[in-house]
Amino acid sequence: MNIVAGSYEKYILGWTLNHNKQGGKSNGDEEQEVCYLNSTFTYPAHMAPIKCLAMAGPVLVTGGMDDAIKIFDVAAYCEVGSLLHHSAAITSLSFYGDQCYGKAEGNDIAYPRNLLSGSLDGNICIWDSDLWVHLKTMKAHKKGVNDLAIHPSGRLALSVGRDCHLSMFNLIKGRCTFTSNLQKEATLIEFNSRVGDSYSVGIDEVVSVHNAEDARLLHSLQHSKRVLCLSPAQNGLLLTGGEDSTIRAWDLASGKISFSLENAHKNRIKGLSVLGPKTSIESDDAPYLVTSASSDGIIRVWDVRMVKRENSTPLSETDSKARITCLASSTSNRLRKAQAFIERDLRSEKGELMASKKESKAKRKSKESNLKEDSHPSFAKKKKSKKLMGIKKKKGMKKKGVAKHGKLAAALS
């Protein structure tokens, strides 16, 4: 499992989460999860503070206040390139693909198909995440884009902006199809499940849950202070965190709190990420590992099962010593995808090399044929004879003229 955080100091910081089970005591206690956060990299990604992250498989994209989107291969620990199309700070990044919604099965290499980016220039750009080419720019808001979310079907997307509007986009046609006035500025938006039957909008200290078909309000989730991050989870849960330093898990069916972590951090929570579902016990498929990041640089990993038993001790934590601004994580098919990319690139380079060899061979043959024509004996003799004939003709004319003038001079004398 990879965890990556962006910071105000322009750096991205990465960790790997290694976990195993520790046997219970003799009194029959069940096995507990033991986690270790190992630092893997610290890299100066941008020329200005980092605003957002998105991660899918081995691919990490970061957006900063320097108007740039940077691409990284986390498995290879290298920077791939940059996307420079926006004219203002990047505020939101979101991948679409089977990997993002857990649809990849078997030996299939899960990889995102497209990337959507929102910016303070009011535009949303669609990118091909395979070739990393710009496909479309959609005008989203009169002012900056605060956040965006892609429906699991990939057919539509929602965004909220500083103009206090919610916009809906048809991603097949690449245009805005609907806008709604929210009265207040919304900073967060997210689809709540893999089905995409509802979505959540964060406005100050309230998160409103709406039906995706008719935008009908289902629940209003009240917090004591402003909400800064949302993270949908399995089993109909929505995790929220914000300025009150508390992590809450909401049951979207009832609109009530399923469990909460009071004072999970000393400072405001800037990021939440669900690391994996509970799969070893079939009766409980709720997410069991959740990571959180606070503005003071503390990264913590929580076990949901322990939280439900009123044990608020984190499984693991680390101090990044940075001002964290955003958080992302990835768990699937990293190395296999990286290897597949290497093989594909090698095949591509081999094909380009063969094509260049064929082209150079054809040019060489063309030059050789031209040289052969120039050095052909019959062609050379013809040219030489024509030249000599011209010279003889000129000499003959000159002698004839001299003789004529000589006779005329003799007659006159």
The pair of three-digit structure tokens given for residue 22, joined into one six-digit string? 């520790």
Give the separation between CA 262 and CA 255, rounded to whole angstroms: 19
Secondary structure of residue 278 in the 3-state scheme: coil
Q: 3-class DSSP state for residue 82?
A: strand
Say which residue the tokens 């984190």 belong to.
Answer: 314
Residue 376 has pLDDT above 70, yes or no: no
Q: Say if residue 334's pLDDT is above 60.
A: no
Cα separation, 118 vs 134, whole angstroms: 13
pLDDT top residue among 363 and 152: 152
Q: Which residue has the higher pLDDT, 312 or 72?
A: 72
CB 25 within 8 Å of CB 44 = no
Report the alpha-carbon distance of residue 205 to residue 226 in Å, rounded.
Answer: 4
Could you read off the pLDDT of 115-151 as tens digits, one per residue? Answer: 999 999 999 999 999 899 999 999 999 999 999 999 9
* pLDDT tops 70 at residue 21: no
Average pLDDT over residues 157-176: 96
Report the SS3 class of residue 239: strand
Q: Which residue has the higher pLDDT, 358 or 156?
A: 156
By CB atoms closer than 10 A (0-12, 13-18, 19+), residue 290 is buried
DSSP state of 276: E
Instruction: Sort residue 88 into left (φ over 0), alpha (ψ -120 to 50) or beta.
Output: beta
Residues 303-327 have a mean pLDDT of 86
CA angle 310, 313, 315 (to 5 degrees): 125
* Digit-coded pLDDT (tens) for 216-229: 999 999 999 999 99
Enumerate helices (H) and strands (E) in the chain, giving the number of each: 3, 28
Residues contacting residue 262 through CB under 8 Å, at least 6 positions apart? 246, 312
| Distance in angstroms (rounded) separating the CA atoms of residues 371 and 361 | 15
Q: What percent of the chain has pLDDT above 90?
A: 57
In which band, very low, low, confident or very high, does the pLDDT at 404 lie, cut at 50, 70 and 90?
A: very low
373: confidence class by pLDDT, cuts 50, 70, 90: low
What three-state secondary structure class fits 316?
strand
In this structure, which amino acid lies at residue 2? Answer: N
Which residue, among 367, 327, 165, 166, has the nearest Cα to 239 in the 3D structure?
327
| Residues 15 and 39: beta-carbon distance below 8 Å | yes
pLDDT tens profile 235-290: 889 999 999 999 999 999 999 999 899 999 999 999 999 876 533 333 344 457 89
Q: What is the pLDDT of residue 235?
A: 81
Q: For tokens 């498929």, what's the residue?
A: 285
DSSP sequence for 205-226 = TEEEEEETTT--EEEEEE-SS-
